Structure 1
Amino acid sequence: MNTIEFYGADWCPDCQRAKAYLKENDVDFNFIDVDLDKDATARVESINKGKRIIPTLIINGKSFTNPDNAILASTLGINKQGRVILYGANWCPDCQRAKSYLQDNGINFQFIEVDKHDWATQLVEQTNNGKRIIPTLFIDGKSYTNPDNAVLKDVLAIGNEAEQKVYDSIVVGAGAAGLTASIYIQRDRFNSLILEKKNVGGNAFLTEKIENYPGFTTISGSELTQRMAEQAKTYGAKIETGVTVQSIKKEGETFTLGTNMGDYSSKTVVLALGSTYRKLGIENEEDLIGAGIHFCATCDGAFYRDREVIVVGGGNSALEEGIFLASFCKKVIIVNRGNTFSASETYVEKLPSIKNIEVHMNKESVAFLKDENDNFKGLKVKDKSTNEENELYADGSFIFIGLIPNTADVKGFIDLNKRGFITTTGLGETNVRGVFAAGDCREGAIAQVAAATGEGVLASYGIRQFFK
């Protein structure tokens, strides 16, 4: 049968995104939690050359590492008209004809070779009263035996596409800033669409515990942002995940956003692009990312239960995640390049009471270490006062040294400062009329969830003023 094995974990943002997309399109899959199955973890590492990358999907024997929604759509035949599965063979002339017609008209289809799968041959025979007729297509669950191009055109409504909808506002990014902007836009009776390349919640989704958001003594980032998303949907917002915005163009009074899932149009745009984790840029770092080096304790910490890890950084994220890791790791080694921590005193004061945390101050990270099998071994550091070098050994490392704005795809379209942050004035206005910015990607923003929600409100007021 047409099978999908889905290796992932509940805490993984891309797993959440891929699972949601498959469920939305009624695609069945067998979910295997790598946290609960050591054999599953080993298989993921084997497929990905030693790296623990999830989600990893196996579709009819072929593996796909963290496929985006566009790849899932192409591989599984997902379309707005429904799912298209073509059973056939490469030697079959009518199969080639049907495949070419679908490809020429931009229709995704899953091609299953009956010569390679006995179950596929049996399905074709059952569908055609014992006869082996190919191509046999299933379109939105209904079978069609060797349909000609006219039938395909009619069934798939090829050439009859409705005029593209133009939204009042498209919000790029479903973090706290983007979700809040959408809530307020909808309350002002404008319609909005949120496009998110990964999962709802952004970086906040990955935060195990938030203790400084008004109204909650403590709440997980995933729960808080999911509540925001539900509120946005309640007011009528539409959210699409797995959509990467690759270009923005302005034609007259309308913006066209080119994405991996097609074009979208709107009258205004809110760029709540968020940020990604900054790297150290030292020897062996790139080789070991995903195989000993990580940037999210919530995501990858579970792999290091009862093991030793190194945390690089001295800000709020480094200490917060270090304390979290210490709750289940054997030992946590914190390496800070400064003489003092830049984190708030709340976190600094907790460190002395946590016995399995070891702190190294005024140490510069020089290189990551590998063992004889090229596996992660530790971190070489240099004392900034004496220039003495030492090697710290551990099973893995987590880097928390700041963020880089996700603005590469809008460079040249709007003004950015030297560090890549979007420059704004007033109510989050950029230099392009009708385009607003909010959250971590904006110059001067404070990287806190509470601040991000305020920025979303600010941008929504800019849009209200724009339409006035």
Structure 2
Amino acid sequence: MDDMTNFYDLIIIGGGPAGLSAAIYGGRAKLKTLVINKGVVGGLVNTTREIVNYPGYEQISGPELMKNFKKHAESFGVEFLRDEVVDADLSLREKLVTTKKGKQFLAKAVIIACGSEPRLLNIPGEKRLQGNGVAYCATCDAEFFEGEHVVVVGSGDQAIEEGMYITKFASKVTVIVLHDEGILDCNKVSSERAFNNEKMEFIWNSTIEEVLGNENVEGVKIKNLKTGNIEEVNCQGVFFFVGMVPSTNFLKNSGLEVDSRGYISANELMETSFEGVYAIGDNRVKYLRQVVSAAGDGATAAVAAERYIEELNDFNESILKSEKRVLLLFLDALVNENLRFRTLIEEVNRELVDCYRIKEVNIATKKNLIGKYNVRNVPEIIVLDHGNEIKRLKYTMDKEQLKSQLS
């Protein structure tokens, strides 16, 4: 690709709170950063009417908070593109991203922040009333149904545990269950607690047919699977807990490691199975899915990506472009023996008329190079020619033996 306008230091796939936080940190680090988002910036947070648990805001709407996130990122020069990523070759040194509109972009690092989506039943009224009584997160929205009647759809661990949380606020929680009376899909402890909760009621052998209401939820239509009878139940809120689906289909041919549900595995630095590729927010395997934890993911990944890019740039300039062979010296700068070995290597190289270029790698800060060259013990010296490994020296403090290995 010759068009340099399509080359970025950092591409972020997804514009929810995780992606926007990463963008803020990327832009502030003066990385040329692009956020590609297929819908309105903000993701699922845009369906939340009020947020009262994000630090610094006693009360703010989801769309307003995300607008602030985006404005902050733009102040650091971050670019935004409304498009959908449909393919990504992440195994390359320069990552290739392709969008639905046929555009292609290269980046030194990629952060995947495409999030996840609630599994929809696609019944009438569900999409239309999202954010106006239809919800998918009890922690986010339960308190807005203080003293009201709420219907919960689902009977797994998430549905029952979230339903019990909703009872802290709602006057009554009615759970719609597909199975016969007394049978839930959740764990035994949760089911016993739910049955003993005075605010929880159950409608068995049933499914939801429609969410009713004009501007806000006013009720639901429920069908009994055994009799076929349909009844209307008045309520002010409907919470769907029939599963979440990570938005990672575009990765199916990329080779990136995902679990059986499609969630991406990442370590504490948000690093994935590919070097220079990071996963943050709701599309990764994680414990808590909240705006505040997504923002933390984004900050971590962007800082990790910045350091990776710094290493990559340094590697390209000092190693790949070096006319001399390079002595890649891995050491621990806090260990005196390692420092004495560095001094010895410098002396040997001077006696060899500086025929090598010495590149020092401190294991405390250069994690990517350590992994790249599979360094297990330090000090370690690898001889490179234009980035290609020629040999590894045997560690010794004997000057003549070192000189012999390098001659």
Q: TM-score range by the shorter chain?
A: 0.5 to 0.7
In structure 2, the residue matched to 1:379 is: 222
2:71 to 230, 255, 262: 230
Hey, what's the Cα distance between the residues in 2 that align with 1:363 and 1:213?
Answer: 35
* Deviation of 1:216 (Å): 1.3
Judge conservation of contact 1:338–1:362 (CA < 8 Å) in 2: no
CA distance in 2, matches of 1:380, 1:312: 21
Q: Which residue of 1 aligns with 2:161?
A: 342
Q: Please tell me whether residue 416 in structure 1 is matched to residue 258 in structure 2.
A: yes
Of 100, 122, 129 in structure 2, the residue corresponding to residue 260 of structure 1 is: 100
Note if contact 1:210-1:219 (Cα within 8 Å) is conserved in structure 2.
yes
**What is the deviation of 1:381?**
5.3
Larger Rg: 2
SS in 1 for 2:281: coil
- Contact 2:150 2:172 survives alignment (8 Å): no
Give the Cα–Cα distance (whole angstroms) in 1 for the partners of residues 142 and 209 of structure 2: 23
Q: So what's the TM-score if we normalise by structure 1?
A: 0.51
Structure 1's 213 and 381: CA in aligned 2 closer, same or farther, altered over 3 A?
A: farther
* SS of residue matched to 2:161: coil
Q: 2:170 maps to which residue?
A: 351
Query: Which residue identity is paired with 1:319?
Result: A
Distance 1:270 1:295, change over 3 A: farther
Q: Does the Cα contact within 8 Å between 2:258 and 2:264 map onto a contact in 1?
A: yes
* 1:278 alignment partner, one of 119, 128, 142: 119
Residues 267-310 of structure 1 show CA distances to partners (whole Å, capped at 9, x for unaligned) of 1100001111113xxxxx54x3xx33338532x65xxxxxxxxx
Q: What is the CA–CA distance in structure 2 between the aligned matches of 1:295 and 1:365, rounded to whole Å? A: 26
Aligned residues between the structures = 272
1:318 is displaced (CA, Å) by 6.9
Give 2:161's aligned amino acid.
S
Q: Residue 107 of structure 1 aligns with which residue? A: none
Offset of residue 351 of structure 1: 1.4
Secondary structure (helix, strand or coil) at the match of 1:189 reads coil
Cα deviation, 1:416-454, whole Å, max 9, x if unaligned, reads 011210011231111111110000000115210000000
Structure 2 counterparts to residues 358-369 of structure 1, below 5 A: 361-363=201-203, 366-369=206-209
Task: Report 1:84-233 matches (<5 A).
Answer: 162-233=3-74
1:393 is aligned, of 232, 249, 268, to: 232
Q: Which residue of 1 aligns with 2:127?
A: 294
List alignment gaps of at least 5 residues for structure 2: 174-197, 211-218, 312-407
Equivalent residues of 1:337, 1:363 under 8 A apart: no
5+ long unaligned stretches in structure 1: 1-160, 280-284, 302-310, 371-375
2:293 to 451, 454, 468: 451
- Return the alpha-carbon distance in structure 2 between the equivalents of residues 314 and 205 of structure 1: 13
Shift of 1:465: 2.4
Q: CA deviation at 1:162?
A: 4.9
1:140-171 CA-to-partner distances (Å, cap 9, x unmatched) read xxxxxxxxxxxxxxxxxxxxx95443100000
Which AA in structure 1 matches 2:169? K
For the structure 1 residues 381 and 429, does the alpha-carbon distance in structure 2 shift closer, same or farther, using more than 3 Å as the test? farther
Question: TM-score normalised to the size of structure 2?
Answer: 0.58
Report the equivalent of 1:240: 81
Amino acid at match of 1:228: F
Q: 1:365 to 1:444 in 2, by over 3 A?
A: farther
Partner of 2:9: helix, strand, or coil? strand
Residues 84-133 of structure 1 deviation map (CA, whole Å, 9 limit, x = unaligned):
xxxxxxxxxxxxxxxxxxxxxxxxxxxxxxxxxxxxxxxxxxxxxxxxxx
Task: Name the CA shift for 1:269/1:236 in 2 (closer, same or farther; >3 Å).
Answer: same
Question: Contact 1:312/1:335 (CA < 8 Å) preserved in 2?
Answer: no
SS at match of 1:422: coil
Report matched runs for 1:320-335 at 5 Å: 320=143, 323=145, 332-334=150-152
Native 8 Å contact 2:16 2:113 kept in 1: yes
Matching residue of 1:465: 307
1:228 is paired with a residue whose SS is helix
Counterpart position of 1:319: 142
